[in-house]
Amino acid sequence: MPPDRVNFLVGGTQKGGTTALAEFLSAHPEICFSRRKEVHFFDNDPLFAGHQLQYNRYHQYFNPGESTRAIGEATPSYMYWKSALQRIRHYNPEMKWILILRNPVERAYSHYNMEIRENRENLSFSDAIRIERTRLLHTQTNQHRVFSYLDRGYYSKQIKRITSEFPKNQLITVKTEDLQHRQTETLELLFDFLGLDKSPATEIQPRTIFASEYEDMPDTDRQYLQETFKQEIEELENLLDWDCTAWKK
């Protein structure tokens, strides 16, 4: 019998490889993945404003079968959007979280180039990252869905917010590089975390994690971001017991 509600989320990070990961997970015969990759239910603030919420609006994106043992979706902003966490805990306190984390320097530049393609940004990258804090101060929650190139890269505080609402054993974190270069082993780890058969991991065909191309990041901006994220990366190493030497270069 399938679960009666969504029981896992690929909750972040944006531009970390969540699209590829969603495709890999949806290939598992025991997983029912949402028909739309990013449902954006729990980070939809107007939806939760002042009236009785009906979860059937959320459940319409899923069609589990008799063999389904895990139901999930991938909305990267759940990790970042503060108000989403209590909503998710209220919906399912046993929710499992999968976070795929990318070097925050590279993530910031990839995020910026996505916003340029979508015509949502008109500043240079150099200007955008240097005035980001001012932009965030003009928002009600000090968060912004577009202009958060640096802010989304402070993973440690986001992880701590999640573990303040959910037990640590309901959270797993992997590096983007692991999905790129150790796909089978990484998927076996994730399937085991979800309590599923690990064997389908060997049958899932690899794919390119990042397909978009753009100009190299200017050296001055890379140096600025390396210095900006230096302490954060060290904190993340301590928090997750990771070796992030490659991220510091």
Ranges of each domain in the chain: 8-248
Q: Per residue in 13-27, is it b (16+ CB within 10 Å) or e — as a string?
A: bbbbbbbbbbebbbe
- Whole-prediction pTM value? 0.95
pLDDT of residue 138: 81
Query: Tokens standing for 98?
Result: 């999968």
pLDDT of residue 178: 95
pLDDT of residue 141: 79
Q: Helix, strand or coil for residue 75?
A: coil
- The CATH code for residues 8-248 is 3.40.50.300
pLDDT of residue 211: 66
Cα Rg for the chain, rounded, in angstroms?
Answer: 18
Residue 121 and residue 201: Cα distance in Å, rounded?
A: 38
Confirm if 99 and 173 have CB atoms less than 8 A apart. Answer: yes
Strand partners, 8: 72, 96
Nearest Cα residue to 77 out of 103, 111, 122, 127: 111
With a cut of 50, which residues of the chain have pLDDT below it? none
